[in-house]
Structure 1
């Protein structure tokens, strides 16, 4: 799981509340973490593998390069997978090498490897889950900018600089403040712990507070764009708007379910830490609630990777096609060859699959592109619908130049 208590656990003089949750049924807790992280790791990779029935296309033509929002969702899944891998390794070492874990509790221990492993594994987990939070925030910003400004394929390099830069900076700064001037001096006052907890939970709170607002404003703009495409709001537009809204809702629902227990648990542990005796009888309910949320975190934090893929793409199934790229290339070659044999007609020009941000603008009677709020609508709508089971198809009539765009469900 991802909690700043993991770094605090590496301190020989850790606080009483951290000692309380870490030492309660450690073998059972480690087994839960391994099981949850392993399931999430396996199913997340399975979700991301190409499927035989995972592409809806008109004819057999290769799909264009995905827009930035698809790449962001892919990177979020990669960060979650790497975070789960860190949980699996750390929990396995805790269960398989108990002597290594016991060495962390010894002050002035000459063997540095227990502390190196503890700090290294905790930073690995914290870094990639923190990066996942920043990428989730960037996804909300990206879809909002695409709809409001018709940004098209945004600058993915800028997102990389922001997310990885902030994730590394905050992680290193928080750990340095916690262990300053040495690892044996941490938790000798709140001035060590508070900066570390702030840098850990800042991106989490940012997503919890800002993303719902950005998604709500994006949905409102999407409705205006859909109505402005042809001046009417048909059943297809209404269905697409509803599914985009549901997609945002599922993303935030998964995030709240998986990470809200961290906020609750941390609040309870901070309250216990401020008490003179955390084992007092009047604090029994708070201790029990802290333990319950602690074990819930051990289950839900690693499962966020798999649940995110369900929110992004739905269940893609087990029908993995490892030879998909080869089959697509062969299909393209065969289509081109057959086109040359049939009276010189090229199906690539006659009927084209337009996917994601490559949708042509619908045209009005004067031949001008229809825009919503003065902005091209197709880029915005197609970017939001990508990865959600939507494919936008375009049918061209080479004779008179007329074209129409309609969604393929």
Structure 2
């Protein structure tokens, strides 16, 4: 998990009365690690499914080539980051369950180093997923305004920002000796890591719904302009868009709300809150954080039957890219089926604005 509390487990605990040690005595570490391994495995599988190359079936319209390529490429990079983040969590939990110890011994520098590296990998790539999530939302907004995708800036943000934040957070936490639990180190070592983790999560939770709301208004204008009217059929299209936006935001909140709640409790009442509540939150984070990849696999996929086809891995060498757009010419209006041209829309009836549906 990308949680500062869990990351402090990698530190040496020189103080036997440390509050973290007292909480750990109430934690069933075997069950905790087993749950983490299961959820991170599901996350890996979900990310792999999302990364698999696809054949996209869409109609020959100016929106199609833009959305099929732009949306898909961002989703693939999001899944790639999810995959490596889940692998980092999986390897760390496997190490912990193998040696039946989460917190390293006083002179065990190897375990501290290994745990710190796994934590850095998970932290870096989870931060990258948060950046890619908001980049996808921004790209949706730009797409509706018919503006080009600033792809190079997405990559710069998604790979450089995590380096900066992870280096600050975990560098201060572990360097130079892997000790972060002395009372005088709390503000200097632990607090920065909390800030570089929770501030990006909070930004995505606030900004994404706002951008999606603005995109919904833009979509209403686009649909009304193309169809020349706004009847019950057009409203049905808009309802589908709003539901898909809601599911994307809901998935992110479900995965990361436990982390924010844990952070609030730790900094407001760490020495007064019952250990059972902290442990429940740790279990929730162990389940929900890695499942982000699985949830993303569900909410970002195209829901219309026949809208896309998974390319089998052994046939990947035949593909020139992750996605391939097939332009299909319709011979009659009666043969039209509902397809997605904007990557966020779901199943809709056949209407004159159906090319905005999934």
Tell me if structure 1 keeps the 8 A contact 2:11–2:179. yes
Q: Distance in 2 between matches of 1:14 and 1:243?
A: 56
Aligned pair 1:40/2:43, yes or no?
A: yes
1:205/1:22 Cα in 2 relative to 1: closer, same or farther (>3 Å)? Answer: farther
In structure 2, what is the equivalent of residue 367 of structure 1? Answer: none
1:171 to 2:166 alignment? yes
In structure 2, C-alpha distance between the alignment counterparts of 1:298 and 1:69, rounded to whole Å:
29
What SS does the aligned partner of 2:300 have? helix
| Cα offset, 1:177, TM superposition | 2.1
Q: CA deviation at 1:176?
A: 1.9
Q: Distance in 1 between matches of 2:94 and 2:120?
A: 17
Residues 227 and 91 of structure 1: is their aligned pair in 2 closer, same or farther, counting only changes over 3 Å? same
Answer yes or no: is the 8 Å Cα contact 2:234–2:353 preserved in 1: no
Moved over 6 A (4+): 347-352
- Report the RMSD for the aligned CA atoms in angstroms: 3.6
Aligned residue in 2 for 1:271: 268
**Which residue number corresponds to residue 177 of structure 2?**
182
Return the match for 1:254 from 251, 255, 258: 251
Matched, 1:94 2:96: yes
Rounded to whole Å, the distance in 2 between the matches of 1:190 and 1:303 is 31
Q: Which residue of 2 is the match for residue 386 of structure 1? A: 343
Is the alpha carbon distance of 1:118 and 1:303 closer, same or farther for their aligned partners in structure 2, counting shifts above 3 Å?
Answer: same
Cα drift, residue 69 of structure 1: 2.8
Q: Structure 1 CA distance, aligned partners of 2:228 and 2:139? A: 26
Within the alignment, does 1:12 sit opposite 2:8 as a pair? no
The 1:64–1:291 alpha-carbon spacing in structure 2 relative to 1, beyond 3 Å, is same
Quote the Cα distance in structure 1 between the aligned partners of 2:269 and 2:223. 52
- Alignment partner, residue 151 of structure 1: 147
Is the CA contact (8 Å cut-off) linking 2:44 and 2:87 kept in structure 1? yes
TM-score, length of structure 1 as denominator length? 0.71
Residue 370 of structure 1 is matched in structure 2 by: none
Specify the alignment match of 1:125 in structure 2.
Answer: 122
Structure 2 residue 276 is the aligned partner of structure 1 residue 288: yes
The equivalent position to 1:67 in structure 2, one of 52, 66, 69, is 69
Alignment of 1:208-247 (within 5 A): 208-247=205-244
Distance 2:87 2:236 in 1: 38
2:295 to 298, 302, 307: 307
Deviations 1:50-101 (A, max 9, x none): 57xx754569xxx9573323221221111111111111111111111237x5
The number of residue pairs the alignment matches comes to 331
Structure 1 segment 73-92 matched on structure 2, within 5 A = 73-92=75-94
The unaligned stretches of length 5 or more in structure 1 are 336-346, 353-380, 394-403
Q: Which has the higher contact order (CA 8 A, sep 6+)?
A: 2
Q: Is the 8 A contact 2:58 2:340 kept in 1?
A: no
* Pair 1:88–1:315, CA change in 2 (3 A): farther
Segments of structure 2 that go 5 or more residues without pairing to the other structure are: 333-338
The higher radius of gyration belongs to: 1
